[in-house]
């Protein structure tokens, strides 16, 4: 299974979209929206901002592994 490293983050506050490359060795807990400046955090139950607001979940989740543990 090939891991996708590109994900499009969509801000839930203003709808701004940004194409980002996900880290493979760490979780990204925070993301500053370029559109409105809002600091995004993961939703309850999600491990990172990519799992909450991205078009593709983070690499460990794609591999069905524990993320950020």
pLDDT in tens, 9-67: 999 999 999 999 998 877 899 999 999 999 999 999 998 999 999 999 999 888 887 76
Dihedral of CA atoms 52, 56, 61, 59 in degrees, nearest 10, equals -120
Residues linked to residue 31 through DSSP beta bridges, in sequence order: 40
pTM of this structure: 0.88
């Amino acid at each position: 299974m090939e891991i996708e490293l590109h994900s499009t983050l969509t801000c839930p506050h203003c709808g701004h979209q940004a194409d980002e490359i996900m880290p493979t060795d760490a979780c990204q807990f925070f993301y500053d929206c370029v559109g409105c400046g809002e600091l995004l955090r993961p939703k309850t139950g999600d491990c990172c901002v990519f799992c909450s607001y991205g078009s593709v979940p983070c690499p460990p989740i794609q591999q069905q592994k524990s993320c950020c543990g």
